[in-house]
Amino acid sequence: MSTAQPHPSAKRPAGITEVARHAGVSPGTVSNVLNRPERVAGPTRARVEAAIAELDYVRNSSGSSLRSGRSDAVGLLVLDVTNPFFTEVARGMEDEAAEAGLAVLLLNSAESGTRQRRNLRLLAEQRAAGAVVMPVDDDLSDLLWLHRQGVPWVALDRGDVPEDVGCSVSVDNHAGGLAAGRHLVGLGHERVTFLTGPPAIEQVRRRHDGLRDAFTESDLDPDGSISVIELPQLNPEQGERAVDAALAGGPRQRSTAVMCANDQLALGFMKGLGRRGLRVPDDISVIGYDNVDVASLVHPGLTTVAQPKYELGRTAMRLLRAQLDDPDHLHQRLLFSPELVLRGSTAAHRP
């Protein structure tokens, strides 16, 4: 823990009062020049602006948020900064926040409950104007705590939050799983592996359910047709490592297609297959989820379920703004539809 001693010779930068003295007006007037310039007469405003320029004064946001009880920053808490899915969401949120004059504090849970908790606490300490949060697991108590602390939020990719505490924006994960499943069934695959992460993550559970329902509606038994491999994390390394398990049973017994809970997993898995000399889609079909940019860059292109990433972030922030502007705001749940993107990694099963 560094103690951050201020440099001895460090003078505090000029404040509003010093500007006032310099311009021969009262601090209140300077504040008005900054916040409601129309209320102050032309010549005075000019004098103040000159003083501001001369001292190169910059407003101290601690002072103002202390006074108002609210800072002008909003938080975005993501599960994993290194996942391109989230960075795209961040872009959307950032653009919308910039329009509202709000700064975005990007925080990373790194899929850890402890870090999520620490970050939410930080937002409360900062008296953040609001937050957009992708919860790390089913336990929403941290979010309820944040709500009690008076920080409004919007949940991302998590449709099951109580409507009296916050909004949510998500994509229909069941529909996504269903679309992927129908695609595979339509191609004649009857033995499929679902490669997934910790079942605590609601999103991937629902994708799994969708996949199962696709089999059920075609009169196939999901329990017999789908085998599941659970991995501790949703990253490429884990995907690559899972190849062994997925290939168990040999060519006659093993799955002919693999659905991954996430593109990151799928990309790693495909790499692992390549290393084994297996060809996609000839030997095995692979389908991902998210449609991250690289999905179109690999060869063969990765068939995947696209989510409107940028729009997701942008909409979440829009909902948050609505909440900030309107005191009697009613929380709502928004649900986007996913879209199946066909590329080269899936093909018909040749028995």
Partner DNA sequence: CATCGGTTTTGAAACGTGTCAACGGAGTGT
Partner DNA sequence: ACACTCCGTTGACACGTTTCAAAACCGATG
Residue ranges in 110-149 that form contacts with its own copies under rule CB under 8 A = 110, 121-122, 124-127, 129, 145, 148-149
324 binds its own copies (CB under 8 A): yes
164 binds its own copies (CB under 8 A): no
Strand pairing report for 303-306 and 339-341? antiparallel
Q: Report what 334 binds from its own copies, DNA, none; CB cut-off 5-8 Å by kind.
A: none
Q: Which is nearer to DNA, 51 or 156 (CB)?
A: 51
Q: Which is nearer to its own copies, 27 or 84 (CB)?
A: 84
> Which residue is listed with tokens 């310039």?
37
250 binds DNA (CB under 7 A): no
Residue ranges in 78-97 that form contacts with its own copies under rule CB under 8 A = 81-82, 84, 87-88, 90-91, 94
Q: Which is nearer to DNA, 34 or 278 (CB)?
A: 34
Query: Which window, 6-14, 178-186, 188-196, 254-262, contacts its own copies (CB under 8 A)?
Result: 6-14
> 325-350 in b/e burial notation, b at 16+ Cβ within 10 A?
eeeeeebebbebebebbebebbbebe
Residue ranges in 37-56 that form contacts with its own copies under rule CB under 8 A = 56
63 binds DNA (CB under 7 A): yes
72 binds its own copies (CB under 8 A): yes
Pairwise CA distance, residues 149 & 125, whole Å = 9
Residues 6+ apart with CB under 8 A from 258: 192, 193, 194, 195, 246, 266, 269, 284, 285, 286, 287
Q: Which is nearer to DNA, 62 or 141 (CB)?
A: 62
Pairwise CA distance, residues 206 & 66, whole Å = 43
Query: Which window, 5-13, 20-28, 136-144, 170-178, contacts its own copies (CB under 8 A)?
Result: 5-13
Strand partners of residue 192: 226, 257
Q: Report what 332 binds from its own copies, DNA, none; CB cut-off 5-8 Å by kind.
A: none
330 binds its own copies (CB under 8 A): no
- Residue from 7, 36, 252, 350 touching its own copies (CB under 8 A): that is 7
Helices (H), the chain: 16-23, 27-35, 42-54, 61-68, 84-99, 113-125, 141-148, 173-186, 202-217, 222-225, 236-241, 243-247, 250-253, 263-275, 309-325
Cis peptide before 300 (omega within 30 of 0): yes
7 binds DNA (CB under 7 A): no
Tokens of 128: 């953040």
Residue ranges in 127-186 that form contacts with DNA under rule CB under 7 A = none
Judge whether 215 and 183 are in contact, CB under 8 Å: no
Tokens of 74: 């909003």
Q: Report what 150 binds from DNA, its own copies, none; CB cut-off 5-8 Å by kind.
A: its own copies
Residue ranges in 282-301 that form contacts with its own copies under rule CB under 8 A = 293-294, 296-299
Shortest distance, CB of residue 227 to its own copies, whole angstroms?
24
- Residue from 27, 34, 49, 60 touching its own copies (CB under 8 A): that is 60
Neighbours of 127 (CB within 10 A): 16
Here's the x/- map for its own copies, 229-248, by CB under 8 A: it reads as -------x------------
CA 62 and chain centroid, separation: 28
Shortest distance, CB of residue 270 to its own copies, whole angstroms?
7
36 binds its own copies (CB under 8 A): no
Pairwise CA distance, residues 123 & 48, whole Å = 34
> Which residue is listed with tokens 């409107």?
308
Instruction: Count how many Cα atoms sit within 13 Å of the Cα of residue 173 in the half-sphere of its side chain.
Output: 19
35 binds DNA (CB under 7 A): yes
List of residues contacting DNA (CB under 7 A):
12-13, 15-17, 24-32, 34-35, 39-41, 43-45, 57, 59-60, 62-64, 66-69
